[in-house]
Structure 1
Amino acid sequence: MRAAEPRTIPVFGLYGEVAETTIPGFVHAERIGSSASLHGWEIGVHRHVNLSQALVVTEGGGISRIDGRQDVIVAPWLIWVPASVVHAFSFRPGTDGIVLSVADDFLGSVIEHDHEAARLREAADAMFSGRLGAPDEIDLDLRLILDALAHEVFGHLPGSISVVAALAKLVLVGVLRTRAARAIVEPAAVARADLHRRFRRLVEAHLRENWPVARFAAELGVSTDRLHAACTEAVGRAPQVIIHDRLMLEAKRSLIYTTLSVAKIAFDLGFNDPAYFSRFFSSRAGMSPAAYRKRGHAEPAPQA
């Protein structure tokens, strides 16, 4: 008898490890080279639910693709990837540094009682990719902090949880200060990139509610023209296209990874009419949802 197909979409814990949930309080640190080399220096498109990551590239470089934005990485380089943000990396062979993975519950406990909690939360929620702030520029040496974290995570010494919490907070402060330093250099570009990021987060939160672009713009406190400019500069795509792309991705995942009917998928995605959903899908995929499901079971599934 054929095994039942999954009705839920698998998510990544660490890259290459499929997990249903992130372990509460999970903190992990490892060398970039030791992990990336196992995958041919190519870290494919993926995301982590309830898990944020900081990468400090100390040697080499490559290309990062984060939430639709592409950057050329040149060491020393800092990357902060909030939970659920889609990302991928192409590293040059020999690239090294440290990647820190922190569960959201642990990150929240680090931030919660700090008098600057709002600013630290902002840093935790905002994607960043840019030149690593020099120690004399941000008054912190993130390379040394992450080295200490990597050592402490596996040390199992008394008080290690407190040390890891303190160091994780310092990482967030370093991200916050580095972002602030970059904003001084290019404030307009940073503001547009931040608007695009906030729009993408709203799309994720309200994907199934059939919001028009004007509703998203109003929630963000900007005009539709300003939102359009921010999105086209960041990823070369209009807000409506971004919304449709995201709906298509979710539809494709559901068709391949679940056994839900096409009508149920349509209703779950906010479509009132399954026939309209089928036309919407067919015009963009070049085939009906049923045909895509049939073909998808024989080919690699879409990733994000």
Structure 2
Amino acid sequence: MAQLILLEGGSIQLQEQSRQLSGGQMAWLPVGRRKLLRIEAGSHSVGLSLTQSELARIVLQAEAGGRFAPLTRMTLIASLPAARQGRIALLFEDIATELAEARPDRGLMAEAACTLLLVNFLRLVQSDPTQMTRQLPLAERFKLLAGQHLHEHWTVNAYAEALSVTRFQLNSAMRRQTRRSPQDYLHDELIGRAKMLLTGTPLRVADIAYRLGYQDPAYFCRVFHRRVGQPPGAWRMAQDGGPPSFAAWP
């Protein structure tokens, strides 16, 4: 589970990174990270938990999904201006209220509120430019940049230039960390997003291709078939279950 925490008062120690969270700050703990928290007595906080599939659905269905890329792999902390604390706290309350009621559209409303909450949080983080790149190795910086521009189908040379390194340096960094070339990583990320859209939405295969930045759906189908072993339509039919229902959120 990923977690977003708003600390309204008191202190929390993020033991994973030996970082302190104080009143008026927010923290994002991504899926898969050890979440060791030491909470000071008397602290008051609210939180939101998202499964990997719930987070993926928000990221994939957002028009600017690339700006959510840091949420998939980074622990982030943001300071919240006093004037905005009440507004942000109300978003947490709105999500809790929607989930507590038995309305058929509660999942859709909760997802919209979650998206708004995450956008607000990332704006706070990105107001501190050092947050996004502090002490990140080259491979991680490439992954974050790829998350933002994946659908634009940049070349590996374009990524290397944007990162101020050579293609050889980028290739070496990625092979050390992932045992994959940058190009293979980009292909795998696109196929991964395609699979989530195939299983998580009712979109037609052609629409998924366009959403992923492919100009020719037939070419997308060939790429998918070559890497997965089945055309996207056949792969979708072979999966168990149907698209998730927003009514089941979370």
Q: Provide TM-score, normalisation by structure 2.
A: 0.52
Counterparts of 1:207-226 in structure 2, within 5 Å, are 207-226=150-169
Partners of 1:254 and 1:246 in 2: CA distance: 12
Q: Retained in 2: the 8 A contact 1:51–1:84?
A: no
Corresponding residue number in structure 2 for 1:284 = 227
How big is the alpha-carbon RMSD for the aligned residues of Structure 1 and Structure 2? 4.0
Matched, 1:52 2:28: yes
Q: Secondary structure at the match of 1:293?
A: helix
Q: Distance in 1 between matches of 2:175 and 2:157?
A: 16
1:85 aligns with 2:92: no
- 2:210 paired with 1:234: no
C-alpha change, 1:258 and 1:222, in structure 2 (3 Å) is same
User: Is residue 207–residue 243 contact of structure 1 (8 Å, CA) maintained in 2?
Assistant: yes
Q: Structure 2 matches for 1:1-304, cutoff 5 A?
A: 14=3, 26-27=6-7, 52-53=28-29, 57=36, 83-86=70-73, 105=120, 109=124, 117=128, 121-122=129-130, 124-126=131-133, 194-298=137-241
Structure having the higher helix fraction is 2
Paired with 1:111 and 1:207, the residues of 2 have a C-alpha distance of 20
Greater C-alpha Rg: 1
Amino acid at match of 2:6: F
Q: Which amino acid aligns with 1:85?
A: T
Does the 8 Å contact 1:52/1:83 carry over to 2?
no
Identity in percent: 30
- Displaced runs of 4 or more, over 6 A: 28-32, 99-104
Deviation of 1:52 after TM superposition, in Å, equals 2.1
* CA deviation string 1:116-142 (max 9, x = no partner): x5xxx42x324xxxxxxxxxxxxxxxx
Q: Matches of 2:243 and 2:200 in 1, distance apart?
A: 11
Q: CA deviation at 1:284?
A: 1.0
Alpha-carbon shift at residue 207 of structure 1 (Å)? 0.8
Number of positions where the alignment pairs a residue of Structure 1 with one of Structure 2: 160
Counterpart Cα distance in 2 of 1:288 and 1:236: 26
Taking structure 1 as reference, are residues 56 and 286 closer, same or farther at Cα in structure 2, changes over 3 Å only? closer
Structure 1: state its 5+ residue gaps: 1-11, 15-21, 33-49, 60-81, 88-98, 127-175, 180-192
- The gaps in structure 2 that reach 5 residues or longer are 15-25, 39-68, 79-117, 245-250
Amino acid at match of 1:52: W
- What TM-score, normalized to structure 1? 0.43
Deviations 1:55-81 (A, max 9, x none): 67599xxxxxxxxxxxxxxxxxxxxxx
Q: For 1:224 and 1:100, locate their aligned partners in 2 and report how far apart those are by CA, in whole Å.
A: 29
- Measured in 1, the distance between the counterparts of 2:76 and 2:140 equals 22
DSSP-derived class of the 2:137 partner: helix
Following the alignment from structure 2 to structure 1, what is the Cα–Cα distance between the partners of residues 217 and 235? 16
| 1:196–1:231 Cα contact (<8 Å) kept | yes
Per-residue CA deviations over 1:152-190 (Å, capped at 9, x if unaligned) read xxxxxxxxxxxxxxxxxxxxxxxx7xx6xxxxxxxxxxx
Query: In the alignment, what sits opposite 1:72?
Result: none
Q: Deviations over 1:25-48 (max 9, x none)?
A: 83499899xxxxxxxxxxxxxxxx
Asked if the contact 1:27/1:101 (under 8 Å) is kept, the reply is no
Give 1:298 shift.
3.2
String of CA shifts for 1:254-293, please: whole Å, max 9, x gaps.
1000111111111111111111111100111111101111
1:47 corresponds in structure 2 to none
What is the one-letter code of the residue matched to 1:219? A
d(CA) in 1 for partners of 2:171, 2:125: 36
